[in-house]
Structure 1
Amino acid sequence: MIANILSIAGSDPSGGAGIQADLKTFSARGTYGMAVMTALTAQNTQGVTGVHEVPSAFVSEQIAAIFDDIRVDAIKIGMISNADIAMTIADSLRHHVEVPVVLDPVMVAKGGARLLPEDAVQAVRDDLLSMAAVLTPNLPEAAALLDEDVAQDRDTMLKQGEKLRTLGAQAVLMKGGHLEGNQSPDLLVTAIGHEWFESERLETANTHGTGCTLSSAIAAEIGKGKNLSEAVKAAKAYVHNAIVASAELKVGSGHGPTHHFHNLW
């Protein structure tokens, strides 16, 4: 049976990130994608110029409409936008704790700007972390959740991943793309230990939406029945190859998207 995967996130009209990237990823990984919108953005490969937040009551209505009719095998949560939406999502999903949640805390832009006000960050900590089968922060996002400096080495990545687990997430995937060096290591921290996933750093400007794509690929693989380690390994390989193939695309003049359908076209 084909798995049904739900994304709760914001829209990216340029198609490289957000809901659009999530749906492409779900399809590319052989699953059926669904989407609940939390915000509309005006953005392209050069940046975000505007955000229109969806009223939290309508976010709740969208989630209810899905669960009233459709089996959901896994959920990916991305852009939340504000504290009210975070609490609304948490309230809506408390009735569906059997569905695994991949929480991608979209909190810090690539340039370092904070995308969430502090009360929304607190709402993520208080209301959503405990629902996450796996949390997938990059290093600035992990630091923001912990109110600490950004990790600069692997030892600090491990310490911060373990701290995030104590805040409620069942597992944490620390994405190491911000580390210096030729490698781009990710670290999975679980209740039984930790595991490193190594890959070579790729020199390319086509990295728009890689975080959205990775978390969505993990959700798809979990929904298909893989355990977390297998899901992360498959998702990381998929994103790596999507970045490698991104040169086949010509989308915009800034940070271009990855090639979500590189293994199908």
Structure 2
Amino acid sequence: MACPLCNAEKYIKLSEERVDNIVLRYKKMYKIDTSKFFTTEKLELRQCVDCRMEYYPYGQEGDADFYEAFSRRDGYYVQDKYEYKWLLRKICEINPQSILEIGCGEGYFLDHLKDSFEVRATEHNPAAIEILKSKGIELDEDGKTYDLICSFQVMEHVKEIGDFLNWLMGKLNPQGYFFCAVPNPDSTLIQEVFQPIDMPPHHMNHIHKETLYKLSELFSMEVIDYFAEPLRTNSGLQNVLKEREKVYAHGLWRGMLNKFARGVRMALFPVLLETIPLTGHSHGILLRKN
């Protein structure tokens, strides 16, 4: 199977895991049965040699019921994201006349813009669509094009990502802007704090910085700016430190050492946040169509 983004044939096999273990993790951590999304006994993770994207060739995307179940979990739709503030500053600079957000959830980002910009949205979750309607945020229509199209934490969910981006380019006006933010697979947070939702049927790919820059070449766009989110207090520094504590906490001393480590962590937390060069959950890129 070729890379779903750039169609290159060469890849590196990074890992392989039993599907029953993945299904068990989803049931244990999220109370969701994901068995219907897998057709093989093992799930393979590959990395494209050309665009560097990591992808799962045999997993299936979650359906509307899957995401509706996730949306009921506290914190799934986040009102305040680092990338929201980053893009809002850029919008002040580029001043687009029309904006489309892909997969906008309950419309938290468009809440900042809907009173003075022409905004539309796409969304598949029926419950979220009803909330958008109550806010007066209209859905996208066939034939409409936009000066800015943005997506926050969407592209990693799309299996056929190349087809998705080709469709998206057709919605973008000449000299229009495309912004996407995705989980940063090279970040301290993601590398050290494992989450099963970073696998199918939730996430279908992992998009590195090199992959984001490759989009400019694949879709004839110009790179305007790139960002990587710093690790913030509410973005998981404590989770990273907990994982590091586990490495040193074993045997009879584990309980005592964990208590001591928690005390040190809380006392030094503000200092660590400012002095340790750690990266947070997301990164993203702003591109302009040629």
TM-score bracket, normalised by the shorter chain, equals 0.3 to 0.5
Larger Rg: 2
Structure 2-normalised TM-score? 0.32
Please identify which structure carries the higher strand content.
2
Structure 1-normalised TM-score? 0.34
